[in-house]
Amino acid sequence: MEGTMANTDSESSLQKSLQGGGIPARKGGERILSSYEIVERLLTQDSSDGLWHTYLCKDMSHKGRPQVVVKQPNKATGQMAELLFKRLAEEMGWMAASDNGVPTLVRPYVAGLSLFQWKNRQGDLREHQELCIDLLNDLAAKIDAFHKSKKRQLLDLNQEQIVIEANNDVHLLPKASILLDCAIANVDVMNFGWIAGELLFGLASPGAILLKPREAQRPKEMEDELWQVLQEVLEGKVHSCGEVMASLVGHLRLAATVGKPFDVELSKTVALKMQWIQPGEFEMGSPKLELGRGDDDQEQHHEKIADGFWLGVYPVTQKQFLELMAGENTSTYPGDENPMNTLT
């Protein structure tokens, strides 16, 4: 598709038309640029920022009537709207034209759900973890490829700019971009980390880390691995979305492994079943009003486990004990599978 940028006279006409509340939305059946017949307004995907009217249209100049997306500003936004308009035309390959003085952008239509819609339709994402990993790997590759080819990063990357087709192909619908070598950390990689964190760990918004990263504290619900990765992005140690995914997927694989019991072979015939205990916090001891509480019971208090450790799933049997500790069996109730007792 080809077109021309709006000239100075058109821009002046636009500013006049925007006075008094902005350009009203057009109705179905109307035409834009004489060729694009409006089917409906789009209220999803890349139309949530309030700067544009976004329409699904049929291109009546082609025999097959292909569907396209047409965008026009809905209010005066000064140089910012002009900047976004030029960026989308020059960097994203959109067609730019003037429709009676109104800057107009046209791109092919991508049928599908925004990532936000797709996520909400899936329900419990923990049941779709492998699918989420595949989608995020595809998204990471597309973002990193954009960075490499354009030497820029996307502007305000969010879940409404990411579209998932019915076959689960991922498409980026960026609004604009900024120089990749800017003074701040790579915001795309940071935002991608939060999107990945939400899909894989159920996390919410980034909060203070983006505004005051040195002062921000790790939210209680955040995985340590994700917090560490985001800190490394801010420090310039992680430079791509692919690196973020490799780290997070490695963490998930490890968590899946250590979450299962593990048999330690004490000999060819004797094993000890162990379970990984992750770091965490809990209330230890007996509440003061607990039924049957004795005077020598420890008062309830808060404990924190800073480091994970392995713990035996079952009490050590006499057979297991004697396999490691040579000597006489002093248990009160002898038996290979009975617990070992009378030990200090």
> Domains, the chain, ranges and CATH?
8-108 (1.10.510.10), 113-256 (1.10.510.10), 262-313 (no CATH)
The answer to whether residues 99 and 70 touch, using CB atoms and an 8 Å cutoff, is no
For residue 175, the model assigns a pLDDT of 63
93, 97, 34, 91: which is closest to 71 by C-alpha? 97
Over residues 287-316, the mean pLDDT reads 85
Over residues 237-256, the mean pLDDT reads 81
Question: Is the pLDDT confidence value at 105 over 80?
Answer: yes
For residue 29, the model assigns a pLDDT of 93
Question: Is the pLDDT confidence value at 7 over 50?
Answer: no
For residue 3, the model assigns a pLDDT of 32
For residue 330, the model assigns a pLDDT of 84
Instruction: Give Dmax (Cα) for the chain.
Output: 101
Compute CA distances 93 → 3, 111, 174, whole Å.
Answer: 11, 18, 11
Higher per-residue confidence, 137 vs 296: 137
Residue 185 banded pLDDT, cuts 50, 70, 90? low
Question: Is the pLDDT confidence value at 19 over 70?
Answer: no
For residue 16, the model assigns a pLDDT of 46
For residue 140, the model assigns a pLDDT of 94
Higher per-residue confidence, 175 vs 240: 240
First to last CA, the chain: 84
pLDDT digits (tens, 9 = 90+) for 29-88: 999 999 999 998 876 444 444 667 888 999 999 888 999 988 887 765 545 566 667 776
Question: Is the pLDDT confidence value at 216 over 70?
Answer: no
Q: Which of 77-91, 183-197, 313-327 has the lowest mean pLDDT?
A: 77-91
For residue 35, the model assigns a pLDDT of 93
d(CA 12, CA 235): 44
The answer to whether residues 45 and 163 touch, using CB atoms and an 8 Å cutoff, is yes
Higher per-residue confidence, 184 vs 153: 153
Q: Residues 6 or more apart from 127 whose CB is under 8 A from it?
A: none
Range picked from 88-97, 139-148, 271-280, 295-304 for highest mean pLDDT: 139-148
The answer to whether residues 170 and 138 touch, using CB atoms and an 8 Å cutoff, is yes
Indicate the average pLDDT of the chain.
77
H/E/C letters for each residue in the chain?
CCCCCCCHHHHHHHHHHHCCCCCCCCCCCCEECCCEEEEEECCCCCCCCCCEEEEEEEECCCCCCCEEEEEEECCCCHHHHHHHHHHHHHHCCCEEEEECCEEEEEEECCCCEEHHHHHHHHCCHHHHHHHHHHHHHHHHHHHHHHHHHHCEEECCCCHHHEEECCCCCEEECCCCEEECCCCCCCHHHHHHHHHHHHHHHCCCCCHHHCCCCCCCCCCCCCCHHHHHHHHHHHCCCCCCHHHHHHHHHHHHHHHHHHCCCEEEECCCCCEEEEEEECCEEEEECECCCCCCCCCCCCECEEEEECCCEEEECCCCEHHHHHHHCCCCCCCCCCCCCCECCCCC
Question: Is the pLDDT confidence value at 5 over 70?
Answer: no
